[in-house]
Chains A and B, each alone.
Chain A
Amino acid sequence: MALLEVKDLSVVFARKGEREVRAVDGVSFDVDAGEVVGLVGESGCGKSVTSLAIMGLLPKRGVRVSGQATFDGMNLLQTDERTLRDIRGRDVAMIFQDPLSSLNPVVPIGLQVTEVLTRHRGMKGEAAKKEAAHLLERVGIPDPTRRLKEYPHQLSGGMRQRALIAMAVACAPRLLIADEPTTALDVTIQAQILELLKDLVRDSGTALLMITHDLGVVAGMCKSINVLYAGRRVESAPRRVLFAQRHHPYTVGLLGSIPRLDAPKGEKLRPITGSVRDVLPWAEGCAFAPRCFNRVDRCVDGPPELVWTAAQHGYRCVNPVMEAETAK
């Protein structure tokens, strides 16, 4: 059994006097122990909401969550708050997109690290400080004892994200959820942080759910990749299979929108036009249809089912892209 099994996860925001928003719609995927799994999609497609639902961090009011998120045999969506607080930070940890706003500005870095150690590992005083310094060193922060006394605003963007990673791996969690951990960083720093994450999970056997809008980011590290669009999983495959062949036009476009150095001469970029928020002109049907280059009449008949091929490759499209070099 997988370490994390997400099954049919749906999240509906329903506030009084406002239109209901189905941010996540029947999403399923697995993360095996020690594996890196990618969750990819444009901004606004429901990646963060999915991860927050798994962590039990969505607001309590005005949100309906259904489905299952089974971690180590326990459905997190049905688990009481007390138990969840024990699991969070110890067994499942998370890092977020914006390292500056994710750190408490008025609490020294040191305390923000040691509070996890105190909470889950019962470490106090000097022992906790020593361990915190060790953790900072492990994530590549030079001069850790000095950094412990500093405040978030005194650190650079990359250092802040490293500090947040140190807090997340402080208890050697079995699952780490990284929600666009490099989006807010400079390109050069991005690569370093990705490298660090890769090393950390490899050395400690931690499973990583890597969330990103940039398919290029996960290309090098994920064992399998799930593509989300408008709250639905539209394509899912092991990495090699997916990079050899994308079936869903959205995934084709997603990869097409990344400039690649190794692209054949004359190949044109094919950015996806429009955005997730484009309204579907048909009540039912494929949500991507308004922006799709491969649209046919059947697209509007009803929501496409997930079709699986022999190579564990699933796609939700009635007119899939079939040959490898479709990008003309």
Chain B
Amino acid sequence: MFRFIVRRLLQLIPTLFGLSLLLFVWLHRLPGGPETAILGERSTPELRARIREEMGLDQPIWVQYGRFMKRVLSGDLGTSIGTKRPVTTEFLERFPGTVELTITALIIAVGIGIPLGYIAARRRGTWIDQLSVGGALLGICIPVFFLGYIVKEVLAVNFGWFPTTGRQDVTIDATRVTGFFVLDGLLTREWDAAADAIMHLILPGIVLASIPLASIVRITRASVLEVVQEDYVRTAEAKGLTEQTVRSRHILRNAMLPVATTIGLLTGSLLSGAVLTETVFAFSGIGAFIVEAIDRRDYPVLMGFIMIVAVIYVLVNLLVDLSYSLIDPRVRVR
């Protein structure tokens, strides 16, 4: 178990190395460097050259990369060009919002997707099957921007059921502990703050859930279809167990295995979907900040954030693999 984790973490090193190299080259090929963003309209060639020299951008790219790696290895991801604050600080401040949003979206997608996939499988070929698979597909086809806009206009602006933007209402004076607003509200027993944070999460959560929903429905459906014709399901039926026991203990428990893997692989698309969702709902997470950083050619922020997100992606999939051994006793993690 321990060796398995260590091995997986060691595999991370070449991945991150390659990723950083790619990112570095890509960022430096983007037209218009950070100096343009800093100087804006007033830029003259002389001013630009001076800034480039100050920032070390006039050096050859491999020198720049070497310097960057040296800093990163000592744990320093640099300073944001836009906010002049350390990248790590910026990240830690914004990451909890994205995590909350992603978890909300996952809960919604799993909560809807698994029952829908199960029903579709059991009613294979009927209109229920077609409706759930088709509906879930529709969810992935509608661009997040568009869906976000519609949902916001109708449910938040028109009906006023949900707040339109942000993570917390300004009138609420919440105590901050972890930066996870819902968790903070629960820890400090400020129930109204927790409830308000949850209300702020629902709409962006629904919008973001539209991305993984289709995959979860499809995988669950396929997986249930396969499991129901397994011999052990027949054994369970031969024992006269109730439909409920057969479903939860014998069908779903086995059908969940591929779904768990899918959820791990979906974290990538969830995080990138979060970028758009956060922008629509002015939700302060890493997504909205990354969009700004691209605009400003804020190299340190982009490099830092993307690298951290890559690490998180690998960690989440490691967690999924570990949870696999909890669900499936045949998987021996060594």
Q: Is the CB of B249 within 8 A of A115?
A: yes
Contact of B234 among A57, A87, A105 (CB under 8 A): A57
Residues of chain A within 8 A (CB-CB) of B67 are none
Residues of chain B within 8 A (CB-CB) of A85 are 240-243
| Least CB separation from A119: chain B residue | B241
Contact of A89 among B232, B241, B250, B254 (CB under 8 A): B241
Q: Is A96 an interface residue (CB 8 A)?
A: yes
B 240-268 contacts with A by CB, 8 A: 240-243, 245, 249-250, 253-254, 257
| Least CB separation from B329: chain A residue | A151
Q: Is the CB of A106 within 8 A of B328?
A: yes
| Least CB separation from B257: chain A residue | A106
For the complex, give the distance between the alpha carbons of A303 and B20 in Å.
78
Interface size class of A (residues with CB under 8 A): 20 to 34
Contact of B250 among A88, A90, A104, A151 (CB under 8 A): A104
Contact with B along A100-112 (1 / 0, CB 8 A): 0111111110010
| Least CB separation from B239: chain A residue | A89
Q: Is A164 an interface residue (CB 8 A)?
A: yes
Residues of chain B within 8 A (CB-CB) of A96 are 231, 234-235, 238
Q: Is A270 an interface residue (CB 8 A)?
A: no
Contact with A along B65-76 (1 / 0, CB 8 A): 000000000000
- Given A96-B235, A104-B232, A105-B232, A119–B330 Cβ distance below 8 Å? no
Q: Is A135 an interface residue (CB 8 A)?
A: no
Q: Is the CB of B238 within 8 A of A93?
A: yes
Q: Is the CB of A88 within 8 A of B249?
A: no
Contact of B240 among A89, A102, A104, A151 (CB under 8 A): A89
| Least CB separation from A153: chain B residue | B330
Contact with A along B226-240 (1 / 0, CB 8 A): 000011101111111
Contact of A105 among B239, B243, B330 (CB under 8 A): B330
Q: Is B141 an interface residue (CB 8 A)?
A: no
Q: Is the CB of A57 within 8 A of B245?
A: no
Q: Is the CB of A101 within 8 A of B230?
A: yes
Residues of chain B within 8 A (CB-CB) of A94 are 238
Highest count of chain A CB atoms <10 Å: which of B231, B245, B257, B327? B231
Residues of chain B within 8 A (CB-CB) of A86 are 240
For the complex, give the distance between the alpha carbons of A86 and B243 in Å.
12
Residues of chain A within 8 A (CB-CB) of B327 are 106
Q: Is A317 an interface residue (CB 8 A)?
A: no
Q: Is the CB of B328 within 8 A of A105?
A: yes
For the complex, give the distance between the alpha carbons of A164 and B250 in Å.
15
Contact of B235 among A90, A108, A151, A164 (CB under 8 A): A164
Q: Is the CB of B240 within 8 A of A88?
A: yes
Q: Is the CB of A119 within 8 A of B242?
A: yes
For the complex, give the distance between the alpha carbons of A164 and B237 in Å.
13
| Least CB separation from A108: chain B residue | B329
Residues of chain B within 8 A (CB-CB) of A106 are 253-254, 257, 327-330
- Given A104-B249, A107-B249, A115–B230 Cβ distance below 8 Å? no
Q: How far does the Cβ of A316 sit from chain B's closest Cβ, in whole Å? A: 31
Q: How far does the Cβ of B124 sit from chain A's closest Cβ, in whole Å? A: 9
Contact of A57 among B230, B237, B329, B330 (CB under 8 A): B237
Q: Is the CB of A102 within 8 A of B235?
A: yes
Q: Is the CB of A101 within 8 A of B240?
A: no
Residues of chain A within 8 A (CB-CB) of B243 are 85
A 94-133 contacts with B by CB, 8 A: 94, 96, 98, 101-108, 111, 115-116, 119-120
Q: Which 5 A-B pairs have the closest CB atoms?
A: A89-B240, A88-B240, A89-B239, A101-B231, A151-B329
Can you add 7 more A-B contacts, CB < 8 Å, to A89-B241, A106-B327, A106-B328? Answer: A55-B238, A85-B241, A85-B243, A98-B231, A104-B253, A115-B245, A116-B240
Can you report 28 residue pairs joining A to B where beta carbons are below 8 Å apart? A57-B237, A57-B238, A88-B238, A88-B239, A88-B240, A89-B240, A93-B239, A96-B231, A98-B231, A101-B231, A102-B234, A104-B250, A104-B253, A104-B254, A105-B328, A106-B254, A106-B328, A106-B330, A107-B253, A111-B249, A115-B241, A115-B245, A116-B240, A119-B241, A119-B245, A164-B235, A167-B235, A167-B239
